[in-house]
């Protein structure tokens, strides 16, 4: 999962936040713990991941994923928020503005 924040009046936006999480889906819900990751712009070590045990919770229903929890405070830049409902789009389908 990756994302960024909303643009600010100055035109700047928080970006480059990547979550790698591992867990199990039970009864339509994924409960996962953040895993270590290393990219050109971001690093989250094994030691930190083990100590913090950040959690990701996603509820799934047909064509929909709802992120209920993503422990990103202090992990991503300010204003980055993965919470909300995501709908599966068909190939070629356009997003609404």
The pLDDT of residue 7 is above 80:
no
Which single residue is written with the structure tokens 């389908």? 93
The predicted model gives 86-95 an average pLDDT of 79
- The whole-angstrom separation of Cα 26 and Cα 42 is 30
Of 39 and 96, the structure prediction assigns the larger pLDDT to 39
The pLDDT of residue 3 is above 50:
no
Q: Map out the domains of the chain as residue ranges.
A: 15-87
The pLDDT of residue 64 is above 70:
yes
Among 50, 54, 48, smallest CA distance to 73 is for 54
Give residue 61's pLDDT.
Answer: 96
Q: What's this model's pTM, rounded to 2 decimal places?
A: 0.77
- The whole-angstrom separation of Cα 1 and Cα 18 is 6
């Amino acid at each position: 999962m990756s994302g960024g924040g909303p643009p600010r009046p100055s035109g700047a936006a928080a970006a480059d936040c990547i979550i790698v999480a591992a867990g199990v889906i039970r009864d339509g819900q994924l409960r996962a713990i953040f895993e270590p990751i290393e990219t050109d712009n971001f690093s989250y070590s094994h030691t930190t991941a083990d100590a913090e045990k950040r959690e990701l919770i996603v509820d799934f229903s047909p064509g929909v994923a709802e992120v209920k929890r993503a422990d990103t405070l202090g992990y991503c830049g300010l204003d980055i928020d993965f919470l909300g409902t995501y709908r599966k789009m068909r190939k070629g389908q356009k997003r609404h503005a």
